[in-house]
Amino acid sequence: MAQETADYIPPLTALTEDEQIFRSSVREFAERRIGPLVRQMDEQAHIPRELVAELFELGVMGIEIPESHGGAGGRFFHSVLAVEELSRVDPSIGVLVDVQNTLVVNALLRWGTEELQGRYLPKLAADTVGAYALSEAGSGSDAFALGTRARNEGDTFVVSGRKLWITNGNEADVFIVFATLDPSAGYRGITAFLVERGFDGFTVGKKEDKLGIRASSTCELLLDECRVPAANLLGEAGKGYKVAIETLNEGRIGIGAQMIGLARGALEAAIKYVKERKQFGKPIGEFQAVQHQIARAAVELEAATLTVYNAARLRDARKPFLTEAAICKIFSSEVAERVASLAVNLLGGNGFVKEYPVEKFFRDAKIGQIYEGTSNLQLQTIAKQIM
């Protein structure tokens, strides 16, 4: 059953003409192609392969990839706009595109050799989904307590271990995998590798059955003496911690974009409903108590949007953005949860059933405070920078 898309409520933040055009094209696609599939994808916990292909055709899977490699040659800010607009309709699609652009493509652009970029960027722009494999059972917030090991055998690295909670695991054919090459060196022994699905010893394992963003696959990865060509080293040996830290800082801005898109979708649905739902002889949206709750949510959403856009603009300007990324991640995820919860409340009993979109937005919102750095980690990052 298709879910109606509420009237669009644009952010007040000024955009350039090309950004407005880009936003509009992604919004139109999301409403036309993704909207009718949202409930089905959530229930089946699956993204149709043909929809993924259409995302490539739209150009949102390789936004920052240079045109010489088949990409759109856009800016990081365009990736943020795409993730926001897609998440306004379905945050599961938003995070698929987010991981592809802010983590996988960005890591390759910054750390990949010309040979690696020439081999993988055209694929990532055309038809190949990527995934980012850092987390393990014993290394969540303590991201560098990795159990996955690698050893150097000359022209090949042999990698063994188990990765958990890997977004895009089912769809991806290319994985950035982090493993410890020299355990005695601590975090300076961590190294990043590009692993293809078809490599010997590599298997995509169990897919998690989740509370929210259910269509987005979250899988375990199993590496059993997986043989990785030495040419697939991403960055230098022992510098994987730098690849992870710098890439995740950008990824947090992408999650911020996902969360403000989610909040906008939930708020729009709530506004549409309160204009139509009548109690005591008039639409409930005419009651001041309801209006003030909506207004408060709009204020918080606009503030969260500004933090996300500010962090993205700083990144494009090549200025420091560590603190701003942490701020936008924690604030937007908290705003998303509050706005989605409010939407459920305003819809009353209808907010609690799957016929309306807000219960899904509510479920989807929770992950924003957990993945790509928990809220506690963001607070610690901010504290270190300002104290």
> Can you tell me the distance from the alpha carbon of 368 to that of 387, in angstroms, rounded to the nearest whole number?
26
Answer whether 170's CB lies under 8 Å from 220's CB: no
Structure tokens at 267: 């708020």
Evaluate the CA torsion angle 171, 23, 258, 322 in order and state its sign: positive
Residue type, 387: M
Q: HSE (CB half, 13 Å, CA atoms) of 66?
A: 9
Nearest one of 102, 110, 112 to 75, comparing CA atoms: 102
Answer whether 311's CB lies under 8 Å from 321's CB: yes
> Can you tell me the distance from the alpha carbon of 36 to that of 245, in angstroms, rounded to the nearest whole number?
37
Pairing of strands 156-167, 149-152: antiparallel
Burial (CB count <10 Å: 0-12, 13-18, 19+), residue 217: buried
Structure tokens at 307: 């933090």
Identify how many contiguous H helices and E strands the chain contains and give both numbers.
12, 10
For tokens 């959403």, what's the residue? 301
Supply the DSSP symbol for 9. Answer: -
Answer whether 307's CB lies under 8 Å from 255's CB: no
Q: Is 372 a catalytic residue?
A: yes
> Can you tell me the distance from the alpha carbon of 329 to that of 339, in angstroms, rounded to the nearest whole number?
15
Answer whether 18's CB lies under 8 Å from 53's CB: no
> Can you tell me the distance from the alpha carbon of 51 to that of 89, in angstroms, rounded to the nearest whole number?
14
Structure tokens at 354: 């799957």
- Residues designated as active site: 372
